[in-house]
Structure 1
Amino acid sequence: MFQKLRLKLTLINVAIMLALFFLLICGTYFFAKIDMSKHTNAGLQRIAADIQAGIISDLPQRPGGTGSDPRPLPPVPPPISPPGPPPGPNFFFVKTSPEGAITFQSSNQPLDASRLTALTKQALQATANQDTVILEETTYTYLKTPLDNQYGTVIVFHDLAQETNMLQLVLTTLLAVGLVCAILSFGASFYMANRAMVPIKKAWRQQHDFLSDASHELRTPLTIIQTNLDIVQDSLDETVASQSKWLNNIQEESICMKNLVNSLLFLARADSTQQPLKKQLISLDATLRQTVAPFEAVAQQNSLALEVHASSAIEVYGDETQLKQVIAILLDNASRHTAPGGKISVALSQAGSKIFLTVSDSGEGIAAEHLNKIFDRFYQVDKSRNKGGSGLGLSIAKWIVESHGGSITVTSIPGEGTIFTVQLPYKPSV
């Protein structure tokens, strides 16, 4: 399951990256093509305008020879250098008579007589004044305009071979870079998918463990209830008083199951952020004494010494009901894990902007390997579960404390006791 999910995440990431690279490559290629086309058109129009204005009478011959037609041409005035940068070497022009015969060709034109005549004929036959023509697999852009005060036409050509080669080079480079980036993106996507799988695996494992432990915790009281009901049903002639032992067992397990279901619902609402906090300014020392009072009877029944040390007038902005629940969870936990004759101490104090609530006991303590796990749901140090509890109390306490902007920690020495410390902010803002 996780391998398929990892592969799916990797492929999705790679597909997104490839799509972005494709758009980047296409955008870069077409931008370069449009930019070259603009420069070419500007050059054609500039040369044509300069010829019409008499600024240009010829274009300089290309270095190394031109391959132009050696036949004699009508005498022309010496070339006049136009202002600004000279036109590129791929520009050349011809002048034609009204009948289409070439009357003048620029000195830098690279074609022989037959090819130049064929190229000129294509341009004259074309209906558009500016377009492209192809001669022997070479593309030329042309611009033709009528000669002012003369009969005939001037046609300015631009050989697109250099631009075509440059665009092909740009495209090849972009594709090569895209291929390298695709390989790198696959590796990066696989790495990111692995990283993304870590919390997914953890959440799935927690959910699996949660369902397994919840099923176990619910199955135990249900089994006890069913067993005791079977005993009662096997003795239908007995009085209710004679069956009180089995009925009491059913009642106790029903209460345990009710508490367990309430805890599960609390955590479910907390996970879905549907567990509201009704915060208000409360006197935490008074809340502490109200919560400890019911445990005095429990301590006395179990032969435990219960001490309370609380500074007066300590106020905190929080949910009083839920803070009472935290205190009750810690006291219940201490009373269940402290042997008769032991001691439980509760202390409330303030230091600067922080409030500290500690619940300590002289019980059996917790081994070091369990300390970082006891706040996990359903985690119990005593796997036999003979101490009672479902393993959800400390998880609930941690959520409540952290929801108030505080923290809860534990220190313990096996055989000597355990100390839970709750830290809350003093009068935090709403």
Structure 2
Amino acid sequence: MLLSETSAPVVRATLPVIGAHLDRIAERFYGRLFEARPELLRDLFNRGNQANGDQRRALAGSIAAWAGLLLADEGADPRAVISRISHKHASLGITADQYKLVHEHLFAAIVEVLGDAVTPEVAAAWDEVYWSMADALIAAEADLYRAAGTGPGLVWRRMRVTGRTRETADVVSFTLSPVDGTPAGRFRPGQYVSVQVAASDGARQIRQYSLSAAPGRAEWRISVKRERPYEGPDGEVSTVLHDEVFPGDEIDVSAPFGDLVLPEGDGPLLLASAGIGITPTLSMLLALAREKSARPVTVVHGDRHPDAHAHRVQQETVAAELPEAALHVWYEEPGTSGAREGYPDLSAVDLPADVTALICGPLPFLRATRSALLSRGVPAERIHYEVFGPDLWRGAA
């Protein structure tokens, strides 16, 4: 997937200028989009990520990464950039026609920010960049909808809360079952669902939560950490779920998506997590236990203290059941738990040379863990991650 001979030199020449202004362009794009379609901010986009600028930075980073890969030497695969984006879009039910709306306001924002620098040649070249990315996303999302047995805009179904368990002071688990009485359905260990609830002002806000139990059950389970709102709309959905949703209540839940999944085969695994990042790796661990797997599994977790460690007992129990599993835990305040003090340190952990790493947690944890793995010779293609919220990884990697 390469740019045309006409567009490639134009994009190469203008990428430094466009890239330097992408954050401002993204800011104007969202401003224009929400002025024209305010319902999108109310009922589709995460208002917290709009308020703190994370979504704007993620958009800018993904466009820059895509353009850079289109200009790379032959053999580079730009589609790798869009895997995580396409899964997120599918979990929201994004439709192909919405890319036309994005194009309209994005290119208006580019002209507004750069003015006369956007000549017809420049506009045509970056139009090619945009549509190459949009077409790749549309195709990837169509494949995901097909695999999920659904379609664009049809990913939602009504589910009833059948159980609620407080895991820690700020984490609650909910078990969910379809209101029509059918089984919740299949998913791959590590995947997530979108959850839509009514905010205090009537907006229908959506957030993603990893499925924290193994597949194969009649019900699903999600574990939700309460995000503390400081200023603006942060924590809207988790606050509603913690304070207002109890057994018998109904919520809208999407089909499962997500590309951080348990790899097939019998090769060694590293399941590394911090904080609420335990949820996808716990699902993988539970799936391995259900299969009575003999795969070598190294489990690493970091948290503030034992009482903040969601699913601590279950993680310890399941890891002990697997014949080739080893659990390593770090707490900032270990107390008398017997865990190591501080942050997870992979230099203190034995890892097989051919390990595949699956990691989830806050962005600083992801960066540190990836760097440690690379320094130990683990190839980048065997390091997989999930970040909760907009993917700011590429701007930092």
TM-score category (smaller protein): under 0.3
Scaled by the length of structure 2, what TM-score is found? 0.18
Q: Mark the structure with the bigger radius of gyration.
A: 1
| Higher RCO structure (Cα 8 Å, ≥6 apart) | 2
Tell me which protein shows more helix as a share of its residues: 1
Scaled by the length of structure 1, what TM-score is found? 0.17
